[in-house]
Each structure stands twice: as structure tokens, then as C-alpha cells.
Amino acid sequence: MTRFKYLILTILLFSFSLSSYAADPVKIKMTTTKGNIILELYPDKAPVTVKNFVHYVDTGFYNKTIFHRVIDGFMIQGGGFTDAENRKETMSPIKNEADNGLKNDRGTIAMARTSDPHSATAQFFINLKNNDFLNHTRKSLNGWGYVVFGNVIEGMDVVNKIAKAKTTKKGRQQNLPVETIYIEDVVVVK
């Protein structure tokens, strides 16, 4: 093997090891007023989405936000409001990666968005059941779906407690828990 080929092979192997390291799952601990939820995020499947979510975690954005939309038998949504009236300022929207093969199954975490498929910023939801109608079917306005980027690996009992909260309508918020459920702290644990 020539020295040049050896050098190229070394660079390729080094690049591969760095890219596989970057694709390792990321663990997140979300402390809520109902208990802890441990998430495992998949940067190999949704690199832009995981990077975006982890940035919000690292900056403390999610701390003291609320679960502002809770629909038992469907999902719990949070990460955007400090109370029913006050939406937090976010970064620019990210591209939709819902064509990654992951499904909106029970216990998965996905990005919330508007009707624009590429409008997700900080809000997320945790699926309470298999929500197949939220999955990617095609790259069209109605087919993009909602990008799944991780899974609850501990604390589904906490998710279920949140899901059982009595809800009301307040201002523009529907399905708002009567008793405020805070996301007190969110940190990367691995």
C-alpha cells in the first residue's frame, strides 16, 4: 500500500469514527412537576431536529415552560409557553425530517409545527398511542407528517399522569391543564 493510499484510508476511517460518534443516541432528563421523563434521541435518524432540540436544552429554554396542550388518548405537548398567554421567542424553523423511517408510535417524541411542514421550532409532543396519521407518507403539504426524533425510555408513567390532567380552554389555548404542569428542568445526561 502506498503512503498516499494509507493516508486516505486513515482519513476515511477517522471520518467514519467521528460520524458514528455523532450518531450515538443522546439521553435527556426532563424534570416535571409530575415526575421525571428520560428520553433517548436519535441523531442518526433526525440530525437537524436533535441538534435543534439539544440546543434548546443546553440554553435552558425549556426550563419553567408548561405542558400547554394535553389530549388523553392522543398526545401531550409542551416546550413553548411559560403560561397560557406567554409564548417564548424561538430560533428560526428547521427542516422537516419526518421521512426518516421513524413512526409516531406510543412513547415517541416528535416536533410540533403549524400547517407548514417546515415550521417546527421548539415545541414538541409525546405520543400517547400509535398515531399513524401523523407519519410521513410523501413530500407534499399533506404528506410530510411530524418528525419523530426520539423515544421515552423511562417515565411513561409520568407521561400517563400528565395525560390524565383535567383540561380547560383559556384564551387561545384549548386542552390546557387546569393545574399547571411545569417542565422544571431539562438536561442532557449522556
In this prediction the pTM is: 0.88
Cβ atoms of 35 and 186 closer than 8 Å: no
- Residue at grid coordinates 393545574: 179
Q: CA dihedral defined by 170, 71, 52, 55, rounded to 10 degrees?
A: 70
Tabulate helix, strand, coil % of the chain (nearest 5). 25, 30, 45
Q: What sign has the CA pseudo-torsion 160, 162, 165, 167?
A: negative
pLDDT in tens, 107-127: 999 999 999 999 999 999 999
Domain assignment of residue 66, yes or no:
yes
Domain assignment of residue 18, yes or no:
no
Domain assignment of residue 77, yes or no:
yes
Task: Tell me the residue range of the domain where 58 lies.
Answer: 24-188
As for how many domains the chain has, the answer is 1
How far CA 168 is from CA of 126, 130, 184, in Å, comes to 20, 25, 22
Indicate the SS3 state at residue 5: helix
CATH code (residue 152): 2.40.100.10
Domain assignment of residue 4, yes or no:
no
How far CA 76 is from CA of 67, 109, 163, 164, in Å, comes to 7, 10, 6, 10
How far is Cα 111 from Cα 80, in angstroms, rounded to an integer?
A: 11
pLDDT in tens, 123-166: 999 999 999 999 999 999 999 999 999 999 999 999 999 999 99
Domain assignment of residue 14, yes or no:
no
pLDDT in tens, 27-77: 999 999 999 999 999 999 999 999 999 999 999 999 999 999 999 999 999
